[in-house]
Structures are given as C-alpha cells and as structure tokens.
Homo-oligomer: A and B are copies of this chain.
Amino acid sequence: MSVKTKHHYEARAKVIKAMAHPSRLLIIDALSRGERCVLELTELVGSDISTVSRHLAVMKNAGLVATEKSGTTVNYRLRVPCILNFFGCIESVLKEVAEEGRRAIG
C-alpha cells in the first residue's frame, strides 16, 4: 500500500500547500464552476494580476490546475475535481471548532 518515505510526504505536502491560501481556495472555487482566464480570476480575487498569476503558477506546478491558451488569453481549469470534496470535510472541522468555542462560552 502506501510507502511513506520522507519524499512521499513532501510530495503530498506540496500539493496541499498549493491549496493552503485564501486566494487560491477562492480560485479553486471559481474554477469548479468552469474555466477562467487570469483576468477574470484577478477581478474575483482582488489582488494585483501578477500576484494572481503567481498563485496560478504554484497551483499549476503542483498539478491542481491545467492551462489552455486561446489567442492571447490563458484559460485555467481544475485538473483533479476530487479536491472539491475536501471542502465538505473542512467545513466539518470548522463546525467542530465552532461548537467547541460555543461550549467554552456557554
């Protein structure tokens, strides 16, 4: 089954790191509804276009997204849709934390 070498964990971590940023999660969310070019994503994220371009480069390098050129614009799409399943689990983590907070108060 799983081999669990140090390198293996590093490879996994690289993929997860590529998601571990608010703007990148927003981008994933947007891409889950279809392809988007850099400019569109820039408007959604609200950072400088160079910043968004770099976020996308990180995600692409990790294998999360793929690109397709169309004239002068570059369209990004999700490459492995199963990452969308993460969010349900993340929500339940947040929910647990919230409940704990509530218990601590009341």
Contacts from A to B (Cβ < 8 Å): 2, 4, 6, 9-13, 15-17, 19-26, 29, 62-64, 79-80, 82-83, 85-90, 92-94, 96-97, 100
Contacts and interface: CB of A to CB of B under 8 A. Distances in A.
Contacts of A93: 15, 62-64, 79-80, 83
Contacts of A23: 9
A90 B22 contact: no
A19 B16 contact: yes
B15 A94 contact: yes
Nearest to A89: B82
A19 B88 CA distance: 16
A19 to B, nearest CB: 5
A20 B14 CA distance: 7
Contacts of A62: 93, 97
18 contacts: A2-B29, A2-B87, A4-B26, A13-B20, A13-B25, A16-B19, A17-B20, A17-B21, A20-B20, A62-B97, A63-B93, A64-B93, A79-B93, A79-B96, A80-B93, A80-B96, A85-B85, A85-B89
